[in-house]
Amino acid sequence: MPDGETPRQGRPLRDARALRAAGLIPAAAVPDLARVAERYAISVTPHVAGLIDPADPADPIARQYIPDAAELVTAPWELADPTADAPFSPVKGVVHRYPDRALLKPLLACPVYCRFCFRREVVGPEGGLLSEAELEAALAWFERSPAVREAILTGGDPLMLSARRLSAILGRLAAVPHIETLRIHSRVPVAEPARVDAALTAALGGAGKPVFLAVHANHAREFNPPARAALARLADAGVPLLGQSVLLRGVNDSAAALEDLFRAMLRARVKPYYLHALDPAPGTARFAVPDAEGLALIESLRGRLPGHAIPVFVREQPNGGGKRPVRCA
């Protein structure tokens, strides 16, 4: 769709028949993709639907969000929990893999469901929202863990919470003396930018401690005018913006696509931060790019882009080892 055109209106597309009615898949694909939907959640917001060119069978936006029958094939090396969240969860909703920081997952719902998601076995429209008692236990864990200096809200997508709820959680964490910074990982600014309204912006900008927002985007076209406007509201409110992406076959696996992506981030005041190697979640093999190819792509950008536009290429280590820069073999 042209950059300034109005996207499709309506509710998110949540099943194969809705995708077909929107003209995003052929009729012949409906039965197979209905089977995919029985296992993995589908959601394409009207905003994202408006970014997709249905006439392009290789559209890089569609590839990220439109399901494929290949998702039902699990390769031998793929893992239900590739980042090993479960063994490092001291209480429900908390993941503590690094000494000085920990994740808080207040919910497991997202505005869109990426077909390569490393938490695809657990996220979905039912939301996985922590109960009041579970959230209290999670926040109490942060309060009694003095080594933790950064709390990272993830999920699911924390910006799916109401501004009031998000503000209360951030305020509670900001009041903990040993927590110095807060971080939020989100797709919302590029997947449902209308949610970034004055109330949500105020919640992030007025937390009482520095709040960094890591924006997940994988293609330059995701930074269209509504997304840029949402990000500008956050930047103007004093929220530092970081960009994190996944290297994906058929989406951004060329030097030109990555250069366009990182330049689009900079124009939106987003600092390219991490380029992730694909986590081996079930049914995601079609997105995999070998590490050597990823390294070559990053090296090809040196001299073409300023240093601050080139993110660190990282891979999640097995068994909860955390992220490490990818090195030459």
pLDDT tier for residue 3 given thresholds of 50, 70 and 90: very low
Supply angle C-alpha 74, 78, 79, rounded to 5.
Answer: 110
Helix/strand/coil (H/E/C) assignment for every residue in 166-216: HHHHHHHHHCCCCCCEEEEEECHHHHCHHHCCHHHHHHHHCCCCCEEEEEE
pLDDT tier for residue 7 given thresholds of 50, 70 and 90: very low
- pLDDT higher than threshold 90 for residue 78: yes
Mean pLDDT, the chain, as a whole number? 94
Higher pLDDT: 291 or 3? It is: 291
Kindly state the average pLDDT of the residues 270-290: 97
- The per-residue pLDDT for 329 is 62
What is the pTM assigned to this prediction? 0.94
What value does the CA radius of gyration of the chain take, rounded to a whole number of Å? 19
Kindly state the average pLDDT of the residues 130-145: 98
Q: Nearest CA to 181 among 146, 161, 211, 141?
A: 211
Q: Nearest CA to 64 among 310, 231, 245, 230?
A: 245
Query: What's the CA gap between 41 and 329, in Å, rounded?
Result: 36
The DSSP string of 249-285 is: TTTT-SHHHHHHHHHHHHHTT-EEEEEEPPP--TT-G
Query: What's the CA gap between 25 and 44, in Å, rounded?
Result: 12
The DSSP string of 28-51 is: GGHHHHHHHHHHS---B-HHHHTT
Write down all domains in the chain, each with its CATH number in brackets: 16-72 (no CATH), 86-325 (3.20.20.70)
Amino acid at residue number 50: G
Higher pLDDT: 178 or 319? It is: 178
- pLDDT higher than threshold 60 for residue 97: yes
Q: Nearest CA to 51 among 63, 68, 69?
A: 63
H/E element holding 4?
A: none
Tens digit of each residue's pLDDT (9 = 90 or more) over 220-246:
999 999 999 999 999 999 999 999 999
Tens digit of each residue's pLDDT (9 = 90 or more) over 149-177:
999 999 999 999 999 999 999 999 999 99
Location of structure tokens 């028949």: 17
- The per-residue pLDDT for 39 is 95
Tens digit of each residue's pLDDT (9 = 90 or more) over 284-327:
999 999 999 999 999 999 999 999 999 999 998 877 778 899 98
In this structure, the number of other CB atoms found within 10 A of the CB of residue 297 comes to 20
- The per-residue pLDDT for 84 is 83
- The per-residue pLDDT for 117 is 95
Higher pLDDT: 329 or 283? It is: 283
For the ranges 67-71, 85-89, 149-153, 210-214, the lowest mean pLDDT is seen at 85-89
